[in-house]
Amino acid sequence: MLVRKRFHDLKSLHCKAAFVERERLEQPNSSEYIQETKLLNYRDASITHLLETRGWNSIQDESELIGSIYAFVRDEIAYGYTKSFELSSSQILHKGYGNCITKTILLMGLFRAVGIPCRFHAFTVNKILFRGLVKGLRYNMISETIHHSWVEIFHEGSWIEIEGHIIDRPYLKNLQAKFPDYMGSFYGYGLAVLNFKNPPIQWNDEHTYVQNKVIEKDLGRYESPDAFFREFPEAESCSKGFRYRHFIRPSLNKNIIAIRSGK
């Protein structure tokens, strides 16, 4: 009986500790979800100037504020691939383009700048995502799985997954024009969606997605992209490789630009 009681006490203690830890991670008011970091450098002059010129500090309705910032990153920061992925929010803003990881870093920086709690959720995705943008031997050079991320924001009492910011509307519009008769699911050219004609990328106080259908592995949630790169340094080192720098990245960006311009 004594052994059984001790086991019960230990089990109860473990469950209580797990509950407390889960509550800590889920707590949206925790400073870790709104603090500035090396990568989320929202006090940089370029970020504060953007907030002023866009009038984001004066928007009182949170949903409207989220939608305005989300639309800016989605459509005014073009879809494309930078030489490096471990970049700060201000660096990505200056470049004016990015992929899932870099646009997520910028979006998080802007959200935290206006006090919206957010976190970084990492995954791996299948390289089928790039089918059509990279072909032949260059496609074969791509690793079978690629690091991926989206933003999660705490809004109206729950965490909302934001992934639709990755693909800009001008690119999507011309990609849809390239395949005018294509209906249903679509995998390739940077998209992985079930409804090619109307993917869930519009902000309506709910999840947005554009690449999630090729997710293979959940790598977990992180309070910041800095924490993610500390645990997965290979997510940055892969961008330093000869194949990516000289073959994969040039092909991706060349074809993305061509589609966006209607070619």
Contact of 252 with 261, CB cutoff 8 Å: no
pLDDT confidence bin for 31, thresholds 50/70/90 = confident
* 134: β partners: 131
Quick check: helix, strand or coil at residue 75? helix
Q: In 3-state terms, the chain is what percent helix, strand and coil (to 5)? A: 50, 15, 30
Q: Which residues contact 115 (CB under 8 A, 6 or more apart)?
A: 34
Instruction: For 121-171, write each residue's pLDDT tens digit.
Output: 999 999 999 999 999 999 999 999 999 999 999 999 999 999 999 999 999
pLDDT confidence bin for 113, thresholds 50/70/90 = very high
Task: Indicate the domain borders of the chain.
Answer: 29-260
Asked if the model's pLDDT at residue 23 lies above 70, the reply is no
Q: CA 71 to CA 89: how far, in whole Å?
A: 16
Torsion of CA 238, 234, 94, 247, to 10 degrees: 10
| Global model pTM greater than 0.85 | yes
Helices marked H in the chain — which ranges? 2-26, 45-54, 62-71, 89-95, 100-113, 136-141, 169-178, 225-231, 234-237, 242-243, 249-260
Give the count of alpha carbons within 13 A of 9, CB side only: 6
Contact of 43 with 90, CB cutoff 8 Å: no
| Max intra-chain CA distance, the chain | 77
Contact of 140 with 127, CB cutoff 8 Å: no
pLDDT confidence bin for 183, thresholds 50/70/90 = confident
169 CB neighbour count, 10 Å cutoff: 14
Q: What distances in angstroms separate CA 105 from CA 41, 66, 111, one per listed residue?
A: 10, 15, 10
Quick check: helix, strand or coil at residue 30? coil
Question: Which residue's entry shows tokens 């004016």?
Answer: 96
pLDDT confidence bin for 26, thresholds 50/70/90 = low
Specify the pLDDT at position 28.
60
Q: In this structure, which topology does domain 29-260 adopt according to CATH?
A: C8orf32 fold (3.10.620)
Instruction: For 234-259, write each residue's pLDDT tens digit.
Output: 999 999 999 999 999 999 999 999 99
